[in-house]
Amino acid sequence: MNFASVTITRATLNMGLSGPTSGHSKIEIVHNNSFFNGVGRNLFENGKLKITGVNNYRVLASRTLNNPQVTTLEIDGVPAGTLVGKSVKLYDDDDWS
């Protein structure tokens, strides 16, 4: 199974990685997990973000930086409610289980 359990550290609604984007959201997670091998753009593109108690969202784009490892995701949707601190499962594009 190709997913990591992490927590949302920042969320910006109606925002993409490149700027304001209606219907998308920018979600940031900080992690220290061997699941995240490498840095760069779109490691999780076409993957899935499952926000506990909210819904599942398609990952449209991602950017992973190092030290600490921070991944910023652009998801297709605008989740309701408070997102910071929510537990999520991040699936890569090879396993939507």
The pLDDT tens digits of the residues spanning 36-77 come to 566 667 778 899 999 999 999 999 999 888 766 888 999 999
User: Which pLDDT does position 49 carry in this prediction?
Assistant: 95
Helix, strand, coil % over all residues of the chain, rounded to 5? 0, 60, 40
User: Which single residue is written with the structure tokens 């537990």?
Assistant: 87
Domain assignment of residue 27, yes or no: yes
Domain assignment of residue 97, yes or no: no
For the chain, the domain total comes to 1
pTM: 0.87
User: Which pLDDT does position 94 carry in this prediction?
Assistant: 66
User: Can you read off the two tokens belonging to residue 35?
Assistant: 């699941």
* Residue of 56 and 34 predicted with greater confidence: 56
- Is a pLDDT exceeding 70 seen at residue 10? yes
72 lies in which domain range? Answer: 3-91
- Is a pLDDT exceeding 80 seen at residue 97? no
CA distance 66 to 82: 26
CA distance 23 to 82: 17
Helix (H, G, I), strand (E, B) or coil at 23: strand
User: Can you read off the two tokens belonging to residue 81?
Assistant: 């409610």
